Amino acid sequence: MKQVEKLIDRVINRVNINLREFNFDATPYAKKVIPLKQMINFDGFYGITSHHPIHFNFIHSNLAGSYFLGKCITDHALVYKTDVRGDELKKKGDDFTYQGTSFPIDTDEAIRICDSYLIKTLIHSFSHDPESPEEFLIRNSMSGFYANIHGSPIEGCYLAPFSTVDLTTLHSCIIGTFSYVCAGDLYHAQVPDGTIWLKGDTFEFKYTFEKAILDKYINNNLDARPTGILMDFVESRKYDFQAVFDSATNKPDINVPSQSAVNRYAYVAGDTTIGENVLISQRAYLVNAWMGPGTNAQENSYIINSRLEKNDITAHGAKIINAWLGEKVFVGFNCFLQGKPGLPLSIGQGCIIMPHTIIDLEEPLEIQAESVVWGYIQNKADLEQNSIPLSELKKINKDIEHKNIMFKGSGKDLVEGFQQRIDNILEANGAYFTNENKKTGHAQKGHSISYNIIQPYLTGKNKGIFPSISIRP
């Protein structure tokens, strides 16, 4: 395993050099957290489909338990139980628009992971960086458990556990535990733990979790795995996935309509129903879930004892337990929405649950339709402090600061931006498909993926390293 240890040291040195101004040391977060023997206990997986270009190029890397779809390159990297989903990459001939200027894409875009160590991380979408439109680059960086990298090239960065970077280009940045950032560009910045930050041209929203609450749900530890309710929740269910990944074929014992897709690496159990135009992604976890037409469960999402009516979005890492969702509800990245037996959670149609929201009930709760919700909520009083009707938010065009929340600019632009993004996600997933309009998406195309396995060296000087291999059409 000496080659694996050398790779880890290589990444640590590169991360530390890029973050030297913060006196940051990646060593405690890279060593002892994942036992080295784990690096040979799991195979790598990749999917092939005719719907988009492929070119897998794995070079001197460890890919233990990771899943790749689309055009992906790894180079001297450790990618541990990570999902690299390249099914929305830009293609040659596409037009890329930035600040009103459009220009053609000359080559098919690729996700490239170079000199980085990613632990149970989700990577998806395409780069929004106009300076490198054909390459979605992750270099000299490290990410912790259940982080999300969505449309965000990063270089020289550390992403703490359960953090999300969304449509943001980052250079030499530290993103804190359970923090969410959607801010366009960040250079040499440190985002504190538990910060939820959205910044557009005409608005800015920022919320910060209290430390005691954050530590209860997720706490990043030196030289050890993270702890807290969120970590316990996902880790207690990881063994349910073991049979899914060990099986040569995995088909859930449920009826799946022809225009819906349940990934063979999803876990589906109990009394679960799949409607038309539904997308269930890899590592999604469904137990006693009712998935109405056009709904989806994205990677690392959990839907348990819950009903999603129609066109609902469960974003990467979101968890929905003992809840009912009306039509077109958006549940953002890494949300934790937990009703309990006798304490149901009801969310009305058209609601936007902001990324990294925690709803952990101590009484039954009904969220009115067409509301925006954020922060930490246990009861009706909390909901009054951490929600606003969409109609009221649209009227706001001033700066507001109250306790741990700050908003500046145009509420109308924030709402309309979110609603447009929701429609784009639903269309990309194929939620609006009919036999007449033929608006196919991932739900319709997901049937045609073939899955392949690659394995590391189990002995010798390259033990733990996967063979360098190039896979083309």
Domain that holds residue 71: 2-91+103-236+449-471
Residue 39 maps to a domain: yes
CA 102 from chain centre, in angstroms, equals 28
Count structural domains, the chain: 2
Which burial class, exposed, middle or buried, applies to 138 when counting CB atoms under 10 A from its CB (0-12, 13-18, 19+)? buried
Residue 98 maps to a domain: no
The verdict on 204 and 122 lying in the same domain is yes
The verdict on 422 and 310 lying in the same domain is yes
Alpha-carbon distance values, 143 to 112, 184, 321 (Å):
15, 19, 27
The predicted structure's pLDDT at residue 223: 87
The verdict on 340 and 283 lying in the same domain is yes
The verdict on 304 and 217 lying in the same domain is no
Closest by alpha carbon to 156, among 355, 266, 13? 13
The predicted structure's pLDDT at residue 249: 66
The verdict on 232 and 269 lying in the same domain is no
* 137, 120 Cβ separation under 8 angstroms: no
Q: Residue 459 maps to which CATH number?
A: 2.160.10.10
One pLDDT digit (tens) per residue for the chain, 473 residues: 899 999 999 999 999 999 999 999 999 999 989 999 999 999 999 999 888 788 999 999 999 999 999 999 999 999 999 999 999 999 999 998 887 888 899 999 999 999 999 999 999 999 988 888 999 999 999 999 999 999 999 999 999 999 999 999 999 999 999 999 999 999 999 999 999 999 999 999 999 999 999 999 999 998 889 999 999 999 999 999 988 887 756 677 789 999 999 999 999 999 999 999 999 999 999 999 999 999 999 999 999 999 999 999 999 999 999 999 999 999 999 999 999 999 999 999 999 999 999 999 999 999 999 999 999 999 999 999 999 999 999 999 989 887 789 999 999 999 999 999 999 999 999 999 998 988 899 999 988 899 999 999 999 999 999 999 999 98
The predicted structure's pLDDT at residue 302: 98
The verdict on 425 and 462 lying in the same domain is no
The verdict on 232 and 325 lying in the same domain is no
- pLDDT, tens digit (0-9, with 9 covering 90-100), for 284-342: 999 999 999 999 999 999 999 999 999 999 999 999 999 999 999 999 999 999 999 99
Query: What one-letter code names the amino acid at 358?
Result: I
The verdict on 363 and 271 lying in the same domain is yes
Residue 80 maps to a domain: yes
- pLDDT, tens digit (0-9, with 9 covering 90-100), for 136-169: 999 999 999 999 999 999 999 999 999 999 999 9
User: Checking DSSP bridges between strand 279-280 and strand 158-159, what pairing results, if any?
Assistant: unpaired
- The β-bridge partners of 138 are 113, 154
Residue 435 maps to a domain: yes
Residue 96 maps to a domain: no
The verdict on 13 and 129 lying in the same domain is yes
| Strand boundaries in 200-322, DSSP class E | 203-208, 261-262, 267-269, 273-274, 279-280, 285-291, 296-297, 302-308, 313-314, 319-321
The verdict on 378 and 467 lying in the same domain is no
Residue 320 maps to a domain: yes
